[in-house]
Amino acid sequence: MTDYFRNDVLVKRQYLRIEWCLSALRHPVRREVQPEDGRIRYWVFVPELGKHLRVVTLDDGVTLHNAFPDRRFKP
């Protein structure tokens, strides 16, 4: 995980669970590569949140960079 993920995302969104993020990487509902920087977006539905979680990795597809409930996501 990046320093940003560790020091900002997890601090601001204390309800997030690493296992949800890993589930998004293993079994995404959708996966997209951001053309501007090569980062990869993954979405997974999290029943405990009642929403889809968007997880963003660096271009390696492994290093967690950001995660948040995505209110606008339409599967």
pLDDT digits (tens, 9 = 90+) for 33-45: 999 999 999 999 9
Domain boundaries, the chain: 3-69
The residue with tokens 């968007």 is: 54
Residue 9 has pLDDT above 90, yes or no: yes
What is the 8-class DSSP label of residue 55? E
Contact 9, 63 (CB under 8 A): no
Spell 19-55 as b/e; 16+ CB within 10 A means b.
Answer: ebbebbbeebeeeeeeeeeebbbbbbbbeeeeebbbb
pLDDT digits (tens, 9 = 90+) for 52-67: 999 999 999 999 999 9
Cα(63)–Cα(57) distance, rounded to whole angstroms? 5
